[in-house]
Amino acid sequence: MARYSLSYQSKTMTAVADTTNYTDNGYAFFLQGGSATMQLKVNELYIGGEDTASTPTTMVFARDSTVAATGISGDFNALMDGTSTAPGTVAVYGCVSTTKPQRSSTLHLLQLSLNTYGGISRWQARYSEEITIITATQPLGEASLSSVTGTGKVSGHCIYELV
């Protein structure tokens, strides 16, 4: 089981409504299984605000009703244990794609609001209560972190395990 840190830097959020296409680089990330049998377990989400003025921003981690496809890029993904060997198939992640992800209107998992003028928001799962992403198709195969309201500038990470 390999653990990864999916990170993003200095992104200005674009607030989007549920079931609406995301804007490239206007959301933190999407995370998707890399195959029909892959399972991911999300252990931690961290958001740090980087604005120079008060900017309340409501972030949500939710399952996506439309998953990202083709032309996928952006963000950083690193194996956390230097002695681990990456599996042959890895998770799909990013913040840019040809087919844009869309947040589900009913499958919101976490509300992570913060004032991006130096504020932080962190969620950490208890053992065996991780959020799972299974396969590479909706509704369980992709989740994303995006803004519902507010246009704050943020950096952060998502720690997940490929099971």
pLDDT tens series, the chain, 163 aa: 789 999 999 999 999 999 999 999 999 999 999 998 999 999 999 999 999 999 999 999 999 999 999 999 999 999 999 888 778 889 999 999 999 999 999 999 999 999 999 999 999 999 999 999 998 888 899 999 999 999 999 999 999 999 8
The answer regarding whether domain 2-162 maps to CATH 3.30.428 reads no
Q: Could you give the C-alpha distances from 145 to 25, 53, 86, in angstroms and in order?
A: 12, 22, 24
Cα separation, 5 vs 156, whole angstroms: 10
pTM above 0.75, yes or no: yes
pLDDT of residue 82: 83
Residue 106 backbone phi and psi in degrees, to 5: -125, -15
pLDDT of residue 87: 80
Residue corresponding to tokens 């890895």: 90
pLDDT of residue 139: 85
Other beta carbons within 10 Å of 80: 12
pLDDT of residue 84: 81
